[in-house]
Amino acid sequence: MKALLLIILIYVSSHSIVRAQYCGSNGIPLTSQANIDNFAANYPGCIVVQGYVFIAGNDITNLNGLSQVTDIMGDLQIWQNPNLTSLTGLSSLKYVDKNISLIITRP
């Protein structure tokens, strides 16, 4: 009986951990630095975005809040971010399933 309870506990724990690692099946628009900075709080444990990631905003200066993301299963679009000086926050990103679009304008 104890072995069965242990197996059930391990299954439930591992299933919860796996589910907590995925987010954004409908995509994630990030349109301000606050959205970037709060990514980990808004999507706790998310390392795989199941949809697209769209990053656009005049006040975005860094992508550090996305440092936990390893995979994007849709498009990665980084558009019109005149104050973005580095993509360092995406250093954990290993895979983008679809297209990568970078359109960066400078003032």
6 phi, psi to nearest 5 deg = -65, -45
Domain range holding 76? 20-103
Task: Report pLDDT for 17.
Answer: 45
Residue among 73, 85, 81 nearest 102 (CA)? 81
Over residues 31-82, the pLDDT tens digits come to 999 999 999 999 999 999 999 999 999 999 999 999 999 999 999 999 999 9
Asked if residue 4 belongs to a domain, the reply is no
Q: Residue 97 — pLDDT band, cuts 50, 70, 90?
A: very high
54 phi, psi to nearest 5 deg = -115, 120
Q: Span 12-16, mean pLDDT?
A: 45
Asked if residue 81 belongs to a domain, the reply is yes
Domain count, the chain: 1
Asked if residue 13 belongs to a domain, the reply is no
Asked if residue 55 belongs to a domain, the reply is yes
